[in-house]
Chain A
Amino acid sequence: MTQGLVEVRDLALGYHGETVLKLDELTVAAGEFVSVLGPSGCGKTTLLNALAGFVTPDAGRILVDGQDVTHVAPQHRQMGLVFQNYALFPHLNVEKNLHYGLKARKVPRDERETRVRDALKLVGLEDFRARFPGQLSGGQQQRVAIARALVTRPKVLLLDEPLSNLDAKLRRQMRHELRELQREIGTTTIFVTHDQAEALAMSDRVVLLAGGGLEQHGTPQELYRTPRTTFTADFIGAANIVKATIGTDGRADVLKRSVAVPEGQGLEAGTSEVALRPEAVTVTAAETPGTVAAEVMSVAFGGDRYEYRVRVDAETTLLASASGREDAYAPGATVGLAFEDASVIWLGGSS
C-alpha cells in the first residue's frame, strides 16, 4: 500500500473566528492505523471534519499523497467517513446503501455488483443485502457503514467514534474485527475516540489531543509507559499522581520512600510530580519492610485483581491493587504499599 499518506501542516481550525484546534504537524503514514484521542471538546471531531472536507481550516494545509486537498470539496476528497450514528440511508436497503457511492462515482454496473458483493463478504453481511437499516442491529449497521465507506476504495478511512453506540461486549469484539479488517485491506485509518482503552488496543500510533492542541503522540506503549505530562499519565490508563521531592543527591522522596531518580531525563531538584499506575502499587501486609503504611478505604473485586482505594495521609489517596486469589483486606485495615523504583513514572522532565 503506497496510497493514503496524510500530512497536516500548521492547521488552525475553528468556528466563528474562535480557534478550536491548533496542530503544527501530524503525519499519518500510508496504511497506518492512527487514533486521535482526547476528552470531549478537544477538537478531535473538528479535525476529522476538516479531513473529510466539512470544515474549512482557518489556516494551514492538509495533504493526501502530497496533494493539497485543503480546499477540495468533500465529494472529491476520496476519504471514507464512518459516522458515529452510522448515517445509513434509511430509505435504501443494505445493498443500495453500498451502491450509492459507486453510482455517484459513475462506476459501471458490472463492477459495482462485484465490488458490493466483495464488500458485503468482507464484513460478513452477504445474507443481509436486502434488509433496510431499521431492520439491523447496531453492530450490523456499523458493519454496513464500514462496508459503504470501503466499497468506494477511499485513500483514507475516517472513523468517528464508531464503537460508542455499541454495548460493552460487542465493542470489545469490534475492536478486534476492525483491526483485522484494516490489516487485511491496508487502508490508512484515522480513528477518533474519547476512549483511551480503544485507542491503546487498536492503534499503531495514538495522537493525544488536549486543550485545543497536541498533548503527546507515539505508540500506545510509549504513551502508557512514558507519558510526558500529568495529563497524559492521567488520561492514558488510570494513574495516581503523587508529589515527589527530588534531592540533589540523585534520589527523591516518593510516598515517604527514597527512590533513585533516573538520569538523562533532565529532572531537576525540587518538587515534582510522578505517576504510579494502580497495578504497580501492590497492597501487602502492614509493616512489611520497604512498604508505605496506608489505610484501606474501599475495595472492589475485579476477578483477577482487587482494586483498593487507600489513604496514605490526609491529602494523599491512591488506587492500588492486589492479586484476586487471596482474601481482601477489609476497609479500615492498615496495609503496606509496595512499588518498585522502576515503576515510578517521572513527569515534567525536559526531554
Chain B
Amino acid sequence: MSIALATRAPRLRRGQVAAIVPTLFMIGAFVVPLIGLAMLSLRPTNDLNTPQPGWTFEQYQQVWDTGYLRSSVLDSLWLSIRVTLTCAVVAYPVAWFLVRTSSRWARTAVFAIVLSPLLTSEVVRSFGWRVVMGGQGPVNAALQALQITDDSIPLLRSGWTVFLAIVHVLLPFAIITLTASLGAIDDALLRASANLGASRTRTFFTVVLPLSVPGLTAGLMVVFSLAMGIYVTPLLVGGATMSLAGLQIQNMAMVVFDQPGAAALSFVLLTVTLVACALIALFGSLTSRRRTRG
C-alpha cells in the first residue's frame, strides 16, 4: 500500500505539471490580449483616432450609432446562422456515410475529400473560387451555354458565392464532430427501432438525431464561432466592401487606424458570438440532460 502511494504521488504531480503548462499558455495567449483589447476599447480618442488616457463608452456608442458598423454585425450574424444550419444539414448524410460504410476505401476517399478544404491554404482556396465564379469562369460559361443568361453575371459580388465558399471551408468541422457522435450510436439500437416497426425516417428523427445532439451542438458551436469571425475568405472572394464584422474590424484597425473603435467592434462581435454559443449549448443540454443523469 505504502509502496503504491509512494510511486503514485510523483506521477500525479508530473501529470499536474503537464496540464498546468498548456493551461498557462492558453491564459497567456488568450486572456491577456483580451484584457488589453477590452481596455483599449474603453479609451477615448482624439481627431487622429489615437487612444487617449481615461475611460469612456463612446467607442461602443459609435459602433451602435454608425449604421454600417451595426449592420455589419447583424449581417455577420445572419450569414453565420445560414452557414451553420446549412453545414448541419449537409454534414449529416456525409457523417452517416463515413460511420456506416463497410468499405474502407470509400471511407478513406470521402474523408480525404471532406478534409481537403482544411488542407489547402485559405488564399489558394479563395483564389480557386474567384477562378470558378469569375466573369470568364466555368460557371458563367456553363450558364451562357445553357442559355440561362446572355451576359456573364457578377457572381463574385453576390453574397451567395461568399456563402458557398464559407460553407465549403467550415463543413469539415461539422462533419468531424458529427462523425464522433454518430459513431457512438450502437447499431443494435437502429435494428431495435426497425424491429419495433419504425421506418428509416422515423428512426432518424427519434433515435439518431436525439442521440447525436452532443456532436451536433459541438459542431454548431464551432462552425458558428468560425463563421462569425471569418475574414480572409470573404475578403478574397467577395471583396473588402462586404458588410461583415470581420472585414470592418480589419478595415478600422489597419486602414483607418481607429484601434479603440476596432476593439469595441471586436467586443461586440465576441459578445454576440458567446451569447449565441451559450444558446446552442443550452439547447444541447436541454435535449440530452435526461440521458446523462444516472
Residues of A within 8 A of B (CB): 52-54, 73-77, 79-81, 83, 85, 87-91, 93, 100-101, 104-105, 131-132, 134-135, 148-149, 152
A81 pairs with B192, CB closer than 8 A: yes
Q: Name the residue on A nearest B196 (C-beta).
A: A101
A77 vs B293: C-alpha distance in the bound complex, in angstroms?
34
A74 pairs with B195, CB closer than 8 A: yes
Q: What are 11 A-B contacts defined by CB distance under 8 Å? A: A74-B194, A74-B195, A75-B194, A75-B195, A77-B195, A81-B195, A85-B188, A87-B186, A91-B288, A100-B196, A149-B196
Contacts of B188 in A (CB 8 A): 83, 85, 87
Contacts of A83 in B (CB 8 A): 188, 191-192
Contacts of A148 in B (CB 8 A): 196
B200-235 Cβ-contact flags toward A at 8 Å (1 or 0): 001000110011000000000000000000000000
Give the total of B residues in contact with A, Cβ under 8 Å.
22
- Whole-angstrom distance between the Cβ of B283 and the nearest chain A Cβ: 15
Contacts of B191 in A (CB 8 A): 52, 54, 74, 81, 83, 87
Contacts of B202 in A (CB 8 A): 104
A91 pairs with B198, CB closer than 8 A: no
Contacts of B294 in A (CB 8 A): 131-132, 134-135
Contacts of B211 in A (CB 8 A): 90-91
A104 pairs with B195, CB closer than 8 A: no
B195 pairs with A79, CB closer than 8 A: yes
Q: Name the residue on B nearest A93 (C-beta).
A: B290
B196 pairs with A152, CB closer than 8 A: yes
- The verdict on B291 contacting chain A, using a C-beta distance below 8 Å, is yes
A152 vs B294: C-alpha distance in the bound complex, in angstroms?
28
- The verdict on B53 contacting chain A, using a C-beta distance below 8 Å, is no
A89 pairs with B194, CB closer than 8 A: no
- Whole-angstrom distance between the Cβ of B189 and the nearest chain A Cβ: 5
A80 pairs with B186, CB closer than 8 A: no
A317 vs B274: C-alpha distance in the bound complex, in angstroms?
76
Give 8 A-B pairs besides A73-B194, A152-B196 with Cβ atoms closer than 8 angstroms. A54-B194, A75-B198, A85-B188, A88-B192, A93-B290, A134-B291, A135-B294, A149-B196
Contacts of A101 in B (CB 8 A): 196-198
> Which residues of B (251-294) have their CB < 8 Å from a CB of A?
288, 290-291, 293-294
Q: Name the residue on A nearest B288 (C-beta).
A: A91
A88 vs B195: C-alpha distance in the bound complex, in angstroms?
12
A148 vs B186: C-alpha distance in the bound complex, in angstroms?
18
A100 pairs with B206, CB closer than 8 A: yes
A52 pairs with B290, CB closer than 8 A: no
- The verdict on B193 contacting chain A, using a C-beta distance below 8 Å, is yes
A76 vs B196: C-alpha distance in the bound complex, in angstroms?
9
B199 pairs with A75, CB closer than 8 A: yes
- Whole-angstrom distance between the Cβ of A90 and the nearest chain B Cβ: 5
Contacts of B193 in A (CB 8 A): 89, 100, 104
Most buried by A among B197, B211, B290, B293: B197
Q: Pick from A54, A89, A91, A105: contact of B197, CB below 8 A.
A: A105
A105 vs B198: C-alpha distance in the bound complex, in angstroms?
7
B293 pairs with A52, CB closer than 8 A: no
Q: Name the residue on A nearest B185 (C-beta).
A: A90
- Whole-angstrom distance between the Cβ of B286 and the nearest chain A Cβ: 12
Contacts of A77 in B (CB 8 A): 195
A75 pairs with B291, CB closer than 8 A: no
B195 pairs with A52, CB closer than 8 A: yes
A73 vs B195: C-alpha distance in the bound complex, in angstroms?
9
B197 pairs with A87, CB closer than 8 A: no
B198 pairs with A104, CB closer than 8 A: yes
9 nearest interchain CB pairs?
A101-B196, A87-B188, A135-B294, A87-B192, A104-B198, A104-B197, A74-B194, A91-B291, A81-B195
- Whole-angstrom distance between the Cβ of B196 and the nearest chain A Cβ: 3
A83-B188, A100-B206, A104-B202 known; A90+B197 contact, CB < 8 A: no
Contacts of A93 in B (CB 8 A): 290
Q: Name the residue on A nearest B290 (C-beta).
A: A132
Contacts of A53 in B (CB 8 A): 194-195
Q: Name the residue on A nearest B200 (C-beta).
A: A75
B197 pairs with A132, CB closer than 8 A: no
- Whole-angstrom distance between the Cβ of A103 and the nearest chain B Cβ: 8
Contacts of B199 in A (CB 8 A): 75, 104
A75 pairs with B197, CB closer than 8 A: yes
- Whole-angstrom distance between the Cβ of A77 and the nearest chain B Cβ: 8
Contacts of B210 in A (CB 8 A): 91
Contacts of A88 in B (CB 8 A): 192
- Whole-angstrom distance between the Cβ of A293 and the nearest chain B Cβ: 54
- Whole-angstrom distance between the Cβ of A152 and the nearest chain B Cβ: 6
- Whole-angstrom distance between the Cβ of A49 and the nearest chain B Cβ: 8
- Whole-angstrom distance between the Cβ of A188 and the nearest chain B Cβ: 16
A104 vs B288: C-alpha distance in the bound complex, in angstroms?
22
A101-B197, A104-B202, A105-B197 known; A91+B186 contact, CB < 8 A: no
Q: Pick from B186, B189, B196, B293: contact of A104, CB below 8 A.
A: B196
A132 vs B288: C-alpha distance in the bound complex, in angstroms?
12
Contacts of A135 in B (CB 8 A): 293-294
A134 vs B211: C-alpha distance in the bound complex, in angstroms?
14
